[in-house]
Amino acid sequence: MQALLNEILDTVRPLIGQGKVANYIPALGSVPADQLGIAVYGNDGELYCAGDAHTPFSVQSISKVFSLVQAIEHSGEAIWERLGHEPSGQPFNSLVQLEFERGRPRNPFINAGALVICDINQSRFAAPALSMRDFVRRLSGNPQVMVDSKVAESEYQHRARNAAMAYLMQSFGNFHNDVEAVLRSYFSHCALRMSCVDLARAFCFLANDGFCKHSGEQILTARQTQQVNSIMATSGLYDEAGNFAYRVGLPGKSGVGGGIVAVVPGRFTVCVWSPELNPAGNSLAGMAALELLSQRIGWSVF
Ligand SMILES: NC(=O)CC[C@H](N)C(=O)O
């Protein structure tokens, strides 16, 4: 496995230069583009890494999985009264569908859906940003996981689109808390800094019927775990979920920080990171690395 990871990084490294680091959040635009890392974490606790696997980066939309899991933990099936679990076929920050569908987001992994999930969590937690930080510290087994306040503030200053979505949902009665407060929570989740190793460990319960071995917690039931994985498989990469299923064939979740996490149910979690994105907002070299890995090991669930 170790040799394979090194070989895969060498193969995809020439792709660096073909994508674009996200700069619509100014604080993200300054991240050096030539970084590349991968970590594979097995259900037995074995860890393989290569490249910049220990360097923390901005998790961005990968945090949408953690918020969803928190919401399922305390509210269960009731959350689906507020949003769906259908793929959107639209970019992650699209507004058009949201108006057509009367303020009910298609799924929890596009921004509108994640904002509704954050609104649900806001009603439940006294300090949602801290609850989230502590949750991911437990899941990753890393007490040093921090929120990058510069990134969170930069996102808040450039919140127009996300704010538009939230206020539109409020106008349809699908938003219950103060919009600005929920936006603050959402941006603080997105601005969590974690490495490939942290994320591979934090997602391992999704490969293990909902049980996180290193924290000793049953995070979700086996059935709920399958359901979260199914939403990742159909919506985790926005309007590129089909391409990801075709090329990689695993439940996955990406973020504009350049990270992608994939789950091999019953066996492994993988996280790759390369900051340059393709036009859909997914890591360009990261997709290629996961495709090679899945192909070489025969990991597709399909
Ligand atoms: N796709 C992403 O990673 C987007 C997250 C980003 N914080 C946003 O709200 O636009």
What is residue 13's predicted lDDT score, i.e. its pLDDT? 98
Q: In what order do the strands lie in the sheet with 146-147?
A: 57-58, 192-194, 146-147
Burial class from Cβ neighbours inside 10 Å (0-12, 13-18, 19+) for residue 160 reads exposed
Q: Give me the mean pLDDT over the 261-284 stretch.
A: 97
Pocket test for ligand 1, best of 20, 21, 25 (most atoms within 8 A of CB): 25
What is residue 218's predicted lDDT score, i.e. its pLDDT? 98
Q: Give residue 264's pLDDT band: very low, low, confident or very high (50, 70, 90).
A: very high
Question: What average pLDDT does the chain have?
Answer: 97
Q: Report which secondary-structure segment, H or E, holds 21.
A: strand 20-21
Q: What is the pLDDT of residues 74-116, one digit of tens each?
A: 999 999 999 999 999 999 999 999 999 999 999 999 999 999 9
Say if residue 195 carries a ligand binding annotation: no
Say if residue 111 carries a ligand binding annotation: yes
Q: Atom 4 (ligand 1): residue with closest C-alpha?
A: 61
Residue 162 C-alpha to ligand 1 middle, in angstroms? 9
What is residue 284's predicted lDDT score, i.e. its pLDDT? 98
Say if residue 238 carries a ligand binding annotation: yes
What is residue 68's predicted lDDT score, i.e. its pLDDT? 98
What is residue 186's predicted lDDT score, i.e. its pLDDT? 98
Q: What percentage of the chain has pLDDT greater than the value 70?
A: 100
**Is the distance from the beta carbon of residue 229 to the nearest atom of ligand 1 less than 6 Å?**
no
Check if the interface score ipTM surpasses 0.90. yes
**Is the distance from the beta carbon of residue 275 to the nearest atom of ligand 1 less than 6 Å?**
no
Domains of the chain as residue ranges with CATH: 1-297 (3.40.710.10)
Pocket test for ligand 1, best of 24, 58, 61, 109 (most atoms within 8 A of CB): 61
Residue 256 C-alpha to ligand 1 middle, in angstroms? 6
Pocket test for ligand 1, best of 183, 256, 277 (most atoms within 8 A of CB): 256
What is residue 211's predicted lDDT score, i.e. its pLDDT? 98
C-alpha 25/C-alpha 50 separation (Å) is 28
Residue 169 C-alpha to ligand 1 middle, in angstroms? 18
What is residue 208's predicted lDDT score, i.e. its pLDDT? 98
CB 107 within 8 A of CB 88: yes
Residue 238 C-alpha to ligand 1 middle, in angstroms? 11
Q: What are phi and psi of 55, to 5 degrees?
A: -85, 125
Nearest CA to 141 among 35, 230, 47? Answer: 47
> In the structure encoding, which two tokens stand for residue 227, read together?
């359901």
- Any idea of the CA torsion for 6, 12, 17, 23, to the nearest 10 degrees? -80
Say if residue 256 carries a ligand binding annotation: yes
Residue 201 C-alpha to ligand 1 middle, in angstroms? 22
Q: Report which secondary-structure segment, H or E, holds 192.
A: strand 192-194
What is residue 54's predicted lDDT score, i.e. its pLDDT? 98
What is residue 267's predicted lDDT score, i.e. its pLDDT? 97
What is residue 94's predicted lDDT score, i.e. its pLDDT? 93
- For residue 269, give the amino acid letter: T
DSSP 145: -
Strand partners, 272: 38, 260
CB 94 within 8 A of CB 161: no
Q: What is the pLDDT of residues 196-253, one digit of tens each?
A: 999 999 999 999 999 999 999 999 999 999 999 999 999 999 999 999 999 999 999 9
pTM of the predicted protein model: 0.98
What is residue 178's predicted lDDT score, i.e. its pLDDT? 98
Nearest CA to 230 among 294, 288, 302? Answer: 302
**Is the distance from the beta carbon of residue 162 to the nearest atom of ligand 1 less than 6 Å?**
yes
Q: What is the pLDDT of residues 37-66, one digit of tens each?
A: 999 999 999 999 999 999 999 999 999 999
**Is the distance from the beta carbon of residue 281 to the nearest atom of ligand 1 less than 6 Å?**
yes
CB 23 within 8 A of CB 33: no
What is residue 245's predicted lDDT score, i.e. its pLDDT? 97
